[in-house]
Structure 1
């Protein structure tokens, strides 16, 4: 056939089904108007992009390519140099700049950026509580309540001490989230949105909730789950809220435990079956993905990127210096290698989980 634009739609859909890489999809839609029309009708594929491992260099590896010892070369995303990704949500990243004074939202596919308030109030609070020590990262994580296109989008950041700060898009400053007196000195492990509700987990195992739309948001105690972890994550998995604890034994072996609440007894119990889901844990974001229909993802597995140490320089950079990437078989309680090309991963400063989205 001399004119590729005249290929039958059935054949184009077969070709499209073979693509599981965001940028291959974009290239497909760029061939001509008829191909682009077919691509736009495949809305299911747009919604079900598989997670990628995104590196600070702008390089990325879709999970479908992680088992390939020689993955095909992907275009570099335009990411600011010497920055840290502290959060991600449906294609958007929360980027902390080089001198640790600003946090902004960025879509690395479209290049769109959204400024957030200056971090002066947060940093001043951090330095005051740490008596000007600079060996601790001032912000650990940023969580978005919804896509930035929503007028009601909130951004919540976890500071290195007990404080949480939040802002609504368009605010000029960050606001400290009020914490009950008994909880002020107990640092937070994670924050997430579940079923439209903001939840925060303290290192003591206490879960708090609040409504940021109220006139004076304040955290209130919701529940308590037992704890003996090095770090814990809150993960929204369908209708369930999971608490995933990470433990590292004295021999260096990484272990994870998953708990959810039994609605009858109200007790938290261990979970060994995620019901077809896989979990992705990272210092920037933790989420669940239904493994059915997504190539390269194994159900009942935990895919993780763990930060082991930080390299801090207040004036020049603020980047995790060492990290571990792997997957954990929840049923067998065993860590497995996530990919065959670990050499290229080890050469990168940081890696975070990112789910691309076509706007």
Structure 2
């Protein structure tokens, strides 16, 4: 007699579901029958970080849908996201949440998978904003520079260039709260807000450590152009900053920090400059020509060269940089860096031609273009977003 799988005990079904690590498998499990559906939680809080999707510059679908390229099956999926539609800037992603700005002071966190939304303190609450005018007459910000001089920025300028990147300590949906840390593009300042704060606070002493930020073991680590690291502890009443004095890493155009298992990695990126003729005009075109990888030796402290990442794969770009095990996800190549263009976000002329994105293989230092076929326009650049149901 055939077994009736619909009659499995609920506690056994829940135990099985907790061994599923891929969100798509969890959804398929719940769809088997009504009893399986009712025996496991709707939201799988136990899941590890998922293989990211690539948010494409232009949707293949009618607005207000957005297009996402799925690495695991080479398919493009449409998500209904009017909050991230044309005219709004997606300035980063962290823990599966998009950071969305428009021509208002609003700073919106949006989970594209669940469409959950949360507002952070507005741009007008940053300490260097002296005055904000949203009337029909003014519609501008007045800011104070690091030297004390006042200058103005339009609403669009603030939307397009105020933030460089925003990093979250954890998903905003988690019950234990979270902290957001923003890198300001023009001044190089770091600013933070905790869940429930009404305004942003600068981290004194960390200016110029604005290449990248990563959250690790309760602390934010920020890196400068030369691989120097500022360790920001903002768990107390007021933030404190200490520094890891490491030998300078020279020659790189950009620097990234990645939390990879128990290791803190530094990933220098090297660009080459070329010119492309478009409509009889010569335009600057940047192309990535290589990466290095270094691991922090805490006893130095010093950066030590890494020639082989093993099974690990790194994802860098405008997203919060992170690492995964390639063997956990079909179609993912280990010992590689999956990168997207995050400099033409602020240098629009470099966005002519194909996007500077692809896979850098450490084994032979080659670059494989991967997703340009799906990028039908050149701005904004594609963005890694990790599917996160919670």
- Report the TM-score range of the alignment, normalised by the length of the smaller protein: 0.7 to 0.9
CA 1:47 to 1:264, structure 2 compared with 1: closer, same or farther past 3 Å? closer
Map residues 1-359 of structure 1 onto 2, 5 A cutoff.
26=27, 29-30=30-31, 32-36=33-37, 46-47=47-48, 49-55=50-56, 57=59, 58-66=66-74, 71=75, 74-78=77-81, 79-81=83-85, 82-96=87-101, 98-99=102-103, 101-122=105-126, 124=129, 127-129=143-145, 131-132=151-152, 137-148=161-172, 149-160=174-185, 161-179=187-205, 184=207, 186=208, 188-224=210-246, 225-250=248-273, 252-263=287-298, 266-310=301-345, 323-339=355-371, 342-347=372-377, 349-359=380-390
- Rounded to whole Å, the distance in 2 between the matches of 1:158 and 1:311 is 14
In structure 1, the gaps of 5 or more residues are 313-317
- Rounded to whole Å, the distance in 2 between the matches of 1:21 and 1:221 is 38
CA 1:100 to 1:203, structure 2 compared with 1: closer, same or farther past 3 Å? farther
Secondary structure of the equivalent of 2:84?
coil
In structure 2, the gaps of 5 or more residues are 60-65, 131-141, 275-286
Contact persistence 2:258–2:266 (CA under 8 A): yes
The CA deviation string for residues 21-77 of structure 1, in whole angstroms up to 9 with x for no partner, is 8568647635642453687699699436321112354211111133xxxx3x52324
CA 1:64 to 1:328, structure 2 compared with 1: closer, same or farther past 3 Å? same
- Rounded to whole Å, the distance in 1 between the matches of 2:46 and 2:219 is 28
State the Cα distance separating 1:6 from its structure 2 match.
5.5
TM-score where L is the length of structure 2: 0.73
- Rounded to whole Å, the distance in 2 between the matches of 1:131 and 1:179 is 23
TM-score where L is the length of structure 1: 0.79
Tell which deviates more after alignment, 100-109 or 119-128. Answer: 119-128
State the Cα distance separating 1:124 from its structure 2 match.
2.2
Give the paired residue count. 331
Contact persistence 1:20–1:64 (CA under 8 A): no
Tell which deviates more after alignment, 130-139 or 223-232. Answer: 130-139
The CA deviation string for residues 282-304 of structure 1, in whole angstroms up to 9 with x for no partner, is 11221000112210111100001
CA 1:20 to 1:43, structure 2 compared with 1: closer, same or farther past 3 Å? closer
1:315 is matched with which residue?
none
- Rounded to whole Å, the distance in 2 between the matches of 1:346 and 1:20 is 33
Q: Which has the higher contact order (CA 8 A, sep 6+)?
A: 1
